[in-house]
Structure 1
Amino acid sequence: MLKNYSSAIKFYLLGFHGSKGLHIIFFAAFFFLYSVTLMGNIVIIMMVCGNKRLQSPMYFFLGHLSVLEILITSVAVPLMLWGLLLPGMQAISLMACGAQLYLYLSLGTSELVLMGAMAVDRYVAVCHPLRYNIIMNSRTCCFLVIASWLFGFLFQIWPIYATIQLTFCKSNVIDHFYCDRGQLFKLSCDDSHFTQFILFLMAVFVIIGALIPTIISYTYIISTIVKIPSVSGRRKAFSTCASHFTFVVIGCGSCLFLYVKPKQTQAAEYNRVASLLVLVVTPFLNPFIFTLRNDKFIEAFRDVMKRCSQLLKD
């Protein structure tokens, strides 16, 4: 379309292929998932902040995880929904594109680090229950949360800078519903193989770095659970870790599928499906994974609902 896009004012997001009717179906489905994601994670945050039963490190981390999930999905999904309603392609400036990508990657990195911290928390709870409150005190928990946020936002500065410094000369149409880095590399006429390889190594470092404490923690957790003599004791110990382990499998699996690849310029459909897993499906599942089998959370939620019903009757 234009000949040089390194100073281009706008890119155009192609969004989803298909007819207008198909777009309406997509809009209804994604709007439902996004609404449930917001409501579910907001409920978790409110419960963690306002219920005395949930004042423990596990729920402290869960509250921050819910905040990250809301922010991650809100970075791209509202724009995607707006694009499904409007005819044609959406325009987005280079700086807005870079800002969206930076927020998405930074928040995602922070979430991976936080998942690793939650694995360590579960290890201390199962393997050292008598010293749990001493080790996982409020200072330690705050340090881990702050460190995860800072690491995520500092770690992604160079990757975004390297991406927006590319010379875009092939097209200004991004075949995606948000500013996907792989599609931006496709539009560049620079030799970006080295940059892509460095980004691959950085993605491996973050994801494997989050998995290592998780794998080590669950190795000790499983060995401890096996030694518990009673069946009820083993079940109780396992239930404290099952939700986190499930979330790690889904979250890290999606990130491995999307980012751990030597070439960032994968097929558009591949990136689109993987991005939907990370941006829509995983945040939607988070409230159900952490609450449906959590007896303490369910009891606390029932108490809140009873109080609300009593207030309404009065």
Structure 2
Amino acid sequence: MRKLICLSVICFCCVFVSKAQSPVSGKRVDYYSAWTDRGAKVVPMGEIHLSALAKSRYGNYPKTELNSELLIFPLVPNIGFKHQWLGKNTILSSQHTLYYPTLGIKWAKNSGFKDQIPKNADVPHIFTFRNELILSRILNPQPEDCFIRIPDLVLTARVGFDFSLKAGDDNFPKLDYYFLYQRSGSYYDDQKVYFAGLELVGNVYRNFNFSISADYYNIDFGGEYAIESQGKIHWHRDSRFSVSAGYKTYYLNNDTKTQLFLMPVVDLVFKLNHRTKLQRGLFKK
């Protein structure tokens, strides 16, 4: 009788342990990534990240993504690619982007923005090339098979420059709006726009992440510069959809005036073909 009872207890324990382990070893967990489009990490191959304000991205190769700013695309067609060169906890990438702002400038000329572009101005074909190096460091590295994974705390630095090539008649004045001057500086007199920036991203609480960034722009080292700062809180409904809200600040110091502007920002991000990570069990099954 004792043997029968002991055998029954052993069988019950085996069944209980197997049932307790099976959902853990095969459970797919949502991972609320803190990485943004400004970081050095590329989108996983096959994934599409659609954003209202930031870059929309597509992972076309294991270490390469295509990206574009879709909000401005009708007026400023643009296409870029980012390649991840090396790194695991320290990641180095390069980003290269082509812009064609001519359509937007012509639209502004014909839409009543006389304070910026008179109707008799000649707008050439402008091709602007942006090149940048991006270095990201994960400050809280975790094992890949970590049982409970939390979002990375990432510090990112970037440096780069813009230059433009033009074709056609050219006699339009400088665009001196606070958000345009530093982005259009390379359109004139073969100038280049040099920039550098920092970003810190991480987790606030559960499915809430944060990002804060600052960028410095210098136009041909001629004394004109601009500073931009942005901070946002990102709420993740799940790993495929998030909403972010925060602020963006512009400060412009050029030859004629200084400008300071603060505005709210809201963004939505949808992730298509996104695959959640397979959480491993206690024995990595």
TM-score, length of structure 2 as denominator length: 0.25
**Quick check: which has more Rg, 1 or 2?**
2
| Structure with the larger RCO, 1 or 2 (CA within 8 Å, 6+ apart) | 1
Q: Which has the higher strand share?
A: 2
TM-score, length of structure 1 as denominator length: 0.24
Q: Which has the higher helix share?
A: 1
